[in-house]
A = this chain, B = another copy of it.
């Protein structure tokens, strides 16, 4: 992955792509947060300054910007999430509050070789996902790891 700085907007234009106001703003919004926002979140933020922007435009641009390497995207239950930090790094998802934290990242070649060598696969990218409880949630003792599901599979239930 190429770090942000290396991706000037000339790269965009060179590909016949334009730097429109909505597009620029969408990219700014994603880069301005480390909350790994959803399309809906970006949409809301963008509309504060450009109220006429449509959700479709936000989706189109997020998809495009990710494809062109200006930001990273990752699938998540409940939708895609985007990340303005395109430098290699890992993620920690807190099972209690759901927040996703950036983690320094492990880029060592040894990690990739581990996979490549034995089976002959060519590793282009790798990322580690951690799950647990963040400092804040650990302090709130009682707070249980979010149950992620209703214990009723097909019928409501008082809880």
Contacts and interface: CB of A to CB of B under 8 A. Distances in A.
Q: Give the interface SS of chain A, mostly helix, strand, loop or mixed.
A: mixed
A7 interface: no
Given A63-B153, A154-B60, A131 B138 contact: no
Interface residues of A, number: 47
Interface in A39-66: 60-61, 63-64
A122 B96 CA distance: 11
Total copies of this chain within the assembly: 2
A138 B122 CA distance: 8
Interface of A: 60-61, 63-64, 67, 75-78, 80, 90, 92, 94-95, 101, 103-104, 106, 111-112, 114-116, 118-135, 138, 145, 148-149, 153-154
